[in-house]
Amino acid sequence: MDVITVTDLAKTYRTPFRRRRVDALKGVSFSVARGEVFGFLGPNGAGKTTTIRCLMGLCGITGGKAEILGAPVPSRAARQRMGFLPEQPYFYDYLTVSELLDLGGRLAGMTAADRRARADQLIVRVGLDHARGLALKKFSKGMLQRAGLALALINDPELVVLDEPMSGLDPIGRKEVRDLILEERDAGKTVFFSSHILSDVESLCDRVAICVGGKIRDIGRPRDLVDATTTETEVRLALADDIDAEVVAALAARGARSRRTAGELLLTVAGGVDVDAVLAAAHAAGGKVIAVTPRHETLEDLFLRRVADQAGAREVLR
């Protein structure tokens, strides 16, 4: 069963004074299966946050429809079984993290005993045990993000929606969020998150959708979306200090690009070129092979191509 189903979702805004029409979403469709970690990608202004806000009931839907856990969006039933972390979350800064979680638990209809037990467990889990008595206004950005994650999880939701959860975090904070997402997935929960950090998305997600210009451009498993054929191969060679410059030039000419550093030559050989022949030539010149690294298209390459396509289309329209 799908946990999120979005069909032809459209959202149109009107600018405040001139009432100019802005089509933020132009028929977005996708579904998220139970137990999946689903990544939602797109450049700034692509419609990621608008989609999430529509799903959370923060924005009205102009066209199409969406369902969460079988309940129509927006509805209280849909929000009852999910948790949400907004982008750059803001909380009541006079509350402590325990009080914030107590408020979230109250709104989710939890009993006092359940609220206390769950809050205690989550505070430890997100690493805020040392800051229990501290007002949120004294929290760092990373601590606030962790408090927000705890708030999203207070009602032990079946679905967790995270809008840019790694945004602004240091590498340790990012790792903690990644671990938390994986823990939720291991517990059988569904995680839907948007991110700009493509390496995180690639390593965490079962499936991804790329949203550009208010439309979904690609959807599927990361490895299915990218081209698996080798696009180029990096060959790193160690060369003798007294090697003839002409030999080096001949070797460099075999690569599409080359870079000479102290005692080394880095060759980037285009896909389709015989790498073995390059290596043989290097041996013949007295060079030593340090590394041969084939390169494939990454999610980032695909993402950048989609963004470039969109920018190109805009240029043509102009």
Partner 1 sequence: MTASLFRIWAIALNTFREAARIKVLYAIVVVVVAVNLLAIALGEMSVSQHSRVARDFGIAGISLFGSLTAIFVGIVLLYGEIQKRTIYSIISKPLARWEFVVGKYLGMVLVLTALVGAFAIAMTAVLAYQGVAVSGAVAKALVLAWFEVLTVAAIAVFFSSFSSPFLSGTFALALWAIGRVTPDLRAAIASSESTWIKWVAKGALVIVPDLHVFSISGGDVDGQHVSVNGGFVDWGYVAAAAAHGALWIAALLVLACAIFRKRDFV
Name residues contacting partner 1, limited to 3-32 (CB under 8 A).
13
Whichever of 165 and 287 has its CB closer to partner 1, that residue is 165
Nearer to partner 1, 134 or 308 (CB): 134
Quickly tell me which residue has 């990361």 as its tokens.
222
Nearer to partner 1, 26 or 260 (CB): 26
Q: Which x/- pattern over 149-168 shows residues binding partner 1 (rule: CB under 8 A)?
A: --x-----------------
For 201, the 3-state DSSP assignment is helix
The secondary structure element, H or E, covering residue 172 is helix 171-186
The DSSP H or E segment spanning 154 is: none
Residue matched to tokens 């790694």 = 166
Would you state the structure tokens that stand for residue 241, as one six-digit string? 């200090």
Residues in contact with 5: Cβ distance below 8 Å, sequence separation at least 6, in sequence order: 31, 66, 67
Distance in Å, CB of 291 to partner 1, minimum: 48
**Phi/psi of residue 215, each to 5°?**
-135, 150
Buried b (16+ CB within 10 A) or exposed e, 271-298: eeeebeebbeebeebebeeeebeeeeeb
Tokens 């689903």 found at: 38
Q: Residue 55 or residue 201: which is nearer to partner 1 going by CB? A: 55
Query: Quick one: 11 or 185, whose CB is closer to partner 1?
Result: 11
Q: What's the closest the beta carbon of residue 75 comes to partner 1, in angstroms?
A: 9
How far is the C-alpha of 302 from the C-alpha of 221, rounded, in Å? Answer: 13
| Binding window for partner 1 (CB under 8 A); candidates: 85-93, 167-175, 203-211, 239-247 | 85-93
The one among 43, 47, 89, 214 contacting partner 1 by CB under 8 A: 89
Answer for which of 50, 145, 190, 195 binds partner 1 (CB under 8 A) is 50
Q: Does 91 bind partner 1 (CB under 8 A)?
A: yes
Q: Does 53 bind partner 1 (CB under 8 A)?
A: yes
Our CB check for partner 1 shows the closer of 89 and 173 to be: 89
For partner 1, give the closer residue by CB, 95 or 307: 95
Nearer to partner 1, 138 or 259 (CB): 138
Residue 213, interface with partner 1 (CB under 8 A)?
A: no
> Total number of residues binding partner 1 (CB under 8 A)?
29
CB of 67 closer than 8 Å to CB of 77: no
Q: What is the DSSP letter of 46?
A: S
Phi-psi label, residue 19: left if phi above 0, alpha if psi -120 to 50, beta otherwise: left
Site string for partner 1, 92-121 (x = CB under 8 A): x-xx-------xx-xxxx------------
Alpha carbon distance 201, 194 (integer Å)? 9
Phi, psi for 210 (deg, rounded to 5): -110, 120
Residue 114 per-residue DSSP state: H
For 31, the token pair is 């579904």
Q: How far is the CB of 51 from partner 1 (least distance, A)?
A: 13
Q: Residue 193 is encoded by which pair of tokens?
A: 């998150």
Of residues 80, 230, 298, 310, which one binds partner 1 by CB under 8 A?
Answer: 80
Q: Which positions from 217 to 236 touch partner 1 by CB under 8 A, shown as an x/- string?
A: --------------------
d(CA 155, CA 142): 22
Contact set with partner 1 (CB under 8 A): 13, 50, 53, 56-60, 76-77, 79-80, 84, 86, 88-92, 94-95, 103-104, 106-109, 148, 151
